[in-house]
């Protein structure tokens, strides 16, 4: 409550990346130490609670917490001596701070300071007031562990004093006290130095202040309750917004049952049935029955968020009073030309917390759809950070639309909902779109890497300022050097653990924490912070290591030496997130083989899966497999590239139009392109995807398919044009997929293959389908094939061909993975495929 109501000041980067687990453990240990040292008069960890009627809905409101300590000297033999000790601890504070704490919310709280306080304070400063009045017999102690230098803390944080004031009021109310003391105890977690701030309050003043604070909180609670009641009433009579497409009703029913049964559901559903609405509609309906309190719609790319946003807009047009926020990456929503998140460079960061609650309240009470443009408009009006405004709005939204990382990534997930100390809990449903992308993304989220060279670079930066930090960096560097000496050149070695290195990194992190507090304005700070965040991530990931990890070091081809914590099997870590919700629905048009994705993403015995067949007319598309082409590394040659070019020309010559050709690498793309231009390309416009294309370049590339016909575009399989592209009708009539899309051979893939082969040999997995090659190469590769092929046939009106070129597609190992709808695929050589192409277009024209 007080953290929300009394937040104030600037956005700073100094606290970003704090090692929460380390800090919490150190803080808890220090709490216990101080509490034990305090003596018998000190009551530690005292739960306090008060319940009252509040708000326009006459709610029973409970405010509760746990006071770090209560010093109750009533009846204490040494009370007189102890009170003198307390008096000596008093630190005088100027009026300006007192006013900041108690009067900063005057307008919103309509705060009227009690007459008794005004009389006491008429003499001047609070310090002078304390000289005129003895401390009370009871003191509330609030302990805060910090890494900052205590000399820099001139006054305590507003929220810390407000927190202690709440405890003081509740305890004074329980004990019928007239006056009570509040003590804020700061302790440096490294030096164990202590600094205390001390105040005396009349309980009549605390009562007024406390109820005004709760009333300020109630305006937010009242809005949330009013909205929830009107939302649920509007949902009760909601009907599906249009006629169900084939397979859509089945998917919607299964999603609702999964939510009702609190299970995880995997859905393989083809393009065109309306998967988004089939997932969103039953989830929204579940609000009215109390099964759901918030939807998290998660996507692999920001642009994909527009589809669920449109679905909710359609439901709102049908009368549903449902709010949603679309979260956008900080760099994309920033109002400045250059993103620098500190008060010195950003006017939106300076004083952000002084204005944020006014901006937030107007936003959530006036808007149901909170997308990037709307959030930016409110942020500009109130001069607050739009990214932080969007995150705050998520607390009040019924649906949150955003990238996977807002739920799953331990570095950037929504701490408001998913941290160990999250104060916002509920019945969450996770809808994971394009779920095939989550396997590699999750593995990356839960992995971490440190490079030896970075330690030396940062050491050079900090040397002029801190020899202590430089020594700590050098100590870690020496440990990495010992590992490097044992690592084979351009190879890797598996490590059983990193125990010694881990301890040195922990010490380094604590030293860096203090350094960053002391040196906030040095020109090298940005580079040092980046290293600090990488170190923080590494240590946080190290706390997650279990049998789903492989620890290894590697000497890279560029000479750098790294240590990596590689999460090979992310299901364990994902489950920690999924367990925060009541149900999760993973859905995609290409989530085959489904058992692989179930094991990699959840691996829970209660998980269920459904397969929705394609609603499209099979007569309007032709699947063909050319088995007289090879893209195996040992077979790549001009001869093979010429054969691929011949297939492309034949497709075009039989039926001209727009085609996309997907190749496994830029090198092969260039080789095939050169063979194309050496032959007859009359009537074609050839395009090539380029590396690192900007958004404007991508749009210009796709515009060719709208404005022109007879475009043959060469693209990268698994790249930006292989999924999420809708080229309907004659904008695209064919897709050529060259090769099975196997990931490039590298050390990490070999480690993954060895990991799953070893797992297969374990007794617990005897007889399972686990196979190292398939998990590391085949399944990720074949998914790229399905995605590339899926660019053709997006609606019932579309017609076109899909041509797969590689001899391996003709083997059972590969074609057994084909979707059910591909069972009519035609296999053959160039002449046979040519005949099949001609027959398909001829039959289509006749029909």
* Residue 112 near residue 103, CB atoms below 8 Å: no
85: CB partners within 8 A, 6+ apart = none
* Tens of pLDDT, residues 677-691: 999 999 999 999 999
Report residue 528's pLDDT band, with 50, 70 and 90 as the boundaries: very high
Same domain, yes or no, for 605 and 749? no
Beta bridge pairs of residue 561 = 555
Same domain, yes or no, for 819 and 727? yes
| Burial track 338-355 (b if 16+ CB lie within 10 A, e otherwise) | eeebbbeebebbebbbeb
* Residue 630 near residue 663, CB atoms below 8 Å: no
Average confidence (pLDDT) over 368-390 = 97
* Greater pLDDT, 74 or 831: 831
Same domain, yes or no, for 682 and 776? yes
The reply to whether 108 falls in a domain is yes
Residue 721 scores a pLDDT above 50: yes
Average pLDDT value over all residues in the chain: 89
> Quick one: what percent of the chain has pLDDT higher than 70?
90
- Stated as kind and residue range, the H or E segment containing 280 is helix 275-288
Give the CATH number, domain containing residue 511: 1.10.275
Same domain, yes or no, for 361 and 260? no
The reply to whether 230 falls in a domain is no
Report residue 413's pLDDT band, with 50, 70 and 90 as the boundaries: confident
Report residue 91's pLDDT band, with 50, 70 and 90 as the boundaries: very low
Max CA separation in the chain (angstroms): 106
pTM of the model: 0.90
Residue 39 scores a pLDDT above 70: yes
The pLDDT value recorded for residue 689 is 96
Q: Of 774, 847, 787, 766, whose CA–CA distance to 816 is shortest?
A: 774
Residue 94 scores a pLDDT above 50: no
Same domain, yes or no, for 527 and 625? no
The pLDDT value recorded for residue 148 is 82
- Stated as kind and residue range, the H or E segment containing 31 is helix 20-38
The pLDDT value recorded for residue 121 is 37
The reply to whether 212 falls in a domain is yes
Residue 311 scores a pLDDT above 90: yes
The pLDDT value recorded for residue 467 is 96
Average confidence (pLDDT) over 307-329 = 96
Cα distance between residue 414 and residue 430, in whole Å? 13
* Tens of pLDDT, residues 386-408: 999 999 999 999 999 999 999 99
The pLDDT value recorded for residue 126 is 38
Lowest mean pLDDT across 110-124, 256-270, 507-521, 665-679: 110-124
Same domain, yes or no, for 14 and 60? yes
The CA distances from residue 196 to 32, 34, 93, 142, 778, in Å, are 17, 12, 12, 10, 62
Helices assigned H by DSSP within 370-524:
372-382, 386-393, 405-408, 415-418, 438-445, 452-462, 467-486, 499-518
The pLDDT value recorded for residue 107 is 36
Cα distance between residue 29 and residue 22, in whole Å? 11
Average confidence (pLDDT) over 424-448 = 94
Domain carrying residue 699: 621-846
* Tens of pLDDT, residues 643-661: 999 999 999 999 999 999 9
* Residue 473 near residue 458, CB atoms below 8 Å: yes
Residue 115 scores a pLDDT above 70: no
Same domain, yes or no, for 113 and 74? yes
Q: Would you tell me how many other CB atoms lie within 10 Å of the CB of residue 693? A: 15
Domain boundary at 537, 567, 597, which? Answer: 567
For residue 795, the 8-state DSSP code is: S
Residue 419 scores a pLDDT above 90: no
Residue 294 scores a pLDDT above 50: yes
Same domain, yes or no, for 115 and 26? yes
Same domain, yes or no, for 19 and 53? yes
The CA distances from residue 367 to 292, 307, 316, 325, 584, in Å, are 21, 19, 12, 10, 27
The reply to whether 232 falls in a domain is no
Same domain, yes or no, for 607 and 625? no
Report residue 83's pLDDT band, with 50, 70 and 90 as the boundaries: low
* Tens of pLDDT, residues 192-212: 899 999 999 999 999 999 999
The reply to whether 229 falls in a domain is no
Residue 4 scores a pLDDT above 90: yes
Average confidence (pLDDT) over 609-620 = 93
* Greater pLDDT, 88 or 627: 627
Half-sphere exposure of 776 (CA within 13 A, CB side): 18
Average confidence (pLDDT) over 775-802 = 94
| HEC string for 486-533 | HCCCCCEEEECCCHHHHHHHHHHHHHHHHHHHHCCCCCCHHHHHHHHH
Report residue 238's pLDDT band, with 50, 70 and 90 as the boundaries: very high
The reply to whether 756 falls in a domain is yes
The pLDDT value recorded for residue 305 is 84
Residue 738 scores a pLDDT above 90: yes
* Greater pLDDT, 9 or 847: 9
Same domain, yes or no, for 70 and 99? yes
Residue 699 scores a pLDDT above 50: yes
Same domain, yes or no, for 787 and 743? yes
For residue 305, the 8-state DSSP code is: G
Give the CATH number, domain containing residue 715: 3.40.50.300
Domain boundary at 528, 551, 567, which? Answer: 567
* Residue 584 near residue 414, CB atoms below 8 Å: no
Answer left, alpha or beta for residue 58, where phi above 0 means left and psi between -120 and 50 means alpha.
left
Average confidence (pLDDT) over 739-762 = 92
The pLDDT value recorded for residue 503 is 95
Domain boundary at 552, 581, 614, which? Answer: 614
Cα distance between residue 733 and residue 736, in whole Å? 10
Give how many domains the chain has, as a whole number: 5
> Quick one: what percent of the chain has pLDDT higher than 90?
75
The pLDDT value recorded for residue 113 is 35
* Tens of pLDDT, residues 239-250: 999 999 999 999
Average confidence (pLDDT) over 22-48 = 80
The reply to whether 228 falls in a domain is no
The reply to whether 784 falls in a domain is yes
């Amino acid at each position: 409550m007080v953290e929300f109501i009394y937040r104030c000041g600037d956005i700073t980067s100094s606290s970003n990346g704090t090692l929460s687990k380390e800090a919490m453990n150190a803080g808890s240990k220090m709490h216990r130490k101080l509490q034990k040292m305090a003596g018998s008069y000190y009551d530690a960890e005292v739960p306090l609670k008060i319940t009252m009627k509040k708000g326009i809905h006459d709610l029973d409101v409970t405010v509760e917490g746990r006071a770090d300590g209560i010093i109750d000297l009533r009846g204490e033999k040494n009370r007189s001596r102890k009170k003198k000790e307390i008096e000596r601890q008093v630190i005088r504070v100027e009026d300006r701070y007192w006013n900041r704490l108690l009067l900063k919310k005057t307008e919103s709280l309509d705060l009227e300071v009690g007459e008794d306080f005004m009389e006491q304070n008429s003499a001047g400063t609070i310090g002078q007031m304390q000289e005129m009045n003895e401390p009370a017999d009871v003191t509330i102690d609030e302990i805060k562990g910090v890494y900052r230098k205590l000399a820099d803390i001139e006054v305590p944080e507003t929220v810390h004093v407000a927190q202690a004031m709440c405890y003081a009021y509740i305890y004074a109310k329980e004990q019928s006290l007239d006056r009570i003391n509040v003590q804020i105890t700061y302790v440096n977690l490294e030096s164990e130095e202590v600094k205390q701030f001390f105040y005396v309050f009349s309980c009549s003043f605390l009562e007024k202040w406390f109820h005004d604070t709760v009333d300020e909180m109630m305006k937010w609670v009242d809005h949330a309750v009013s909205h929830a009641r009107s939302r649920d009433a509007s949902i009760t009579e909601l009907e599906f917004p249009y006629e169900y497409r084939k397979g859509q009703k089945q998917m919607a029913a299964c999603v609702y049952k999964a939510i009702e049964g609190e299970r995880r559901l995997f859905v393989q559903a083809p393009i065109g049935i309306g998967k988004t609405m089939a997932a969103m509609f039953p989830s929204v309906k579940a609000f009215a029955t109390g099964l759901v309190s918030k939807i998290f719609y998660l996507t692999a790319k920001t642009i994909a968020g527009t589809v669920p946003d449109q679905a909710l807009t359609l439901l709102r047009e049908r009368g549903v009073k449902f709010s949603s926020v679309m979260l956008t990456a900080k760099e994309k929503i920033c109002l400045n030309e250059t993103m620098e998140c500190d008060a010195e460079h950003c006017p939106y960061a300076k004083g952000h917390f002084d204005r944020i609650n006014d901006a937030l309240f107007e936003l959530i009470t006036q808007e149901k759809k909170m997308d990037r443009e709307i959030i930016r408009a409110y942020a500009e009006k109130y001069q607050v950070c739009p990214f932080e405004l969007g995150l705050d709005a998520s607390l009040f939204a019924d649906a949150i639309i955003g990238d996977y990382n807002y739920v799953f990534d331990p570095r950037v997930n929504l701490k408001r909902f998913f941290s160990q100390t999250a104060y916002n809990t509920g019945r969450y449903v996770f809808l994971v779109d394009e779920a095939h992308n989550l396997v590699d993304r999750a593995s990356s989220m839960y992995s971490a890497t440190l490079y030896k060279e970075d330690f030396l670079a940062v050491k050079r930066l900090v040397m002029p300022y801190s020899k202590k930090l430089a020594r700590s960096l050098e100590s870690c560097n020496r440990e990495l050097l010992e590992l490097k000496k044992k690592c084979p050149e351009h190879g890797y070695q598996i490590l059983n653990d990193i125990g010694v290195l881990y301890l040195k990194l922990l010490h380094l992190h604590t030293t860096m924490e203090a350094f960053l507090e002391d040196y906030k304005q040095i020109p090298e700070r940005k580079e040092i912070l980046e290293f600090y965040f990488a170190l923080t991530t590494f240590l946080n990931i190290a706390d997650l290591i279990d049998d789903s990890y492989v620890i290894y070091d590697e000497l890279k081809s560029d000479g750098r030496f790294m240590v990596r914590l590689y999460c090979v099997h992310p299901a364990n870590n994902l489950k920690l997130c999924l367990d925060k919700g009541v149900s999760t629905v993973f859905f995609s048009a290409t989530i085959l083989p489904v058992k692989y994705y179930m094991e990699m993403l959840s691996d829970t015995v209660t998980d269920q899966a459904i397969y929705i067949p394609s609603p499209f007319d099979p007569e309007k598309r032709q699947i063909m497999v050319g088995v007289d082409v090879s893209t195996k590394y040992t077979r790549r040659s001009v001869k093979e590239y010429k054969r691929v070019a011949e297939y492309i020309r034949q497709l075009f010559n039989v039926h001209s139009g727009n085609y996309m050709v997907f190749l496994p690498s830029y090198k092969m793309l260039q080789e095939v392109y050169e063979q194309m231009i050496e032959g007859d390309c009359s009537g074609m416009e050839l395009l090539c995807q380029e590396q690192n294309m900007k958004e404007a370049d991508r749009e210009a590339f796709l515009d060719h398919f709208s404005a022109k016909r007879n475009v043959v575009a060469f693209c990268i399989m698994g790249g930006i044009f292989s999924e999420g592209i809708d080229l309907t009708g004659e904008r695209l009539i064919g897709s050529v997929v060259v090769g099975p899309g196997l990931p490039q051979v590298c050390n990490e893939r070999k480690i993954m293959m060895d990991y799953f082969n070893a797992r297969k040999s374990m007794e617990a997995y005897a007889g399972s389908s686990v196979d190292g090659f398939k998990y590391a190469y085949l399944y990720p590769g074949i998914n790229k094939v399905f995605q590339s092929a899926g660019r053709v046939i997006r609606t019932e009106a579309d017609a076109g061909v899909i041509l797969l070129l590689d001899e391996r597609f003709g083997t059972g190992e590969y074609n057994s993975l084909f979707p059910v709808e591909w069972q009519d695929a035609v296999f053959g050589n160039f002449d046979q495929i040519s005949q099949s192409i001609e027959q398909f277009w001829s039959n289509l024209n006749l029909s």
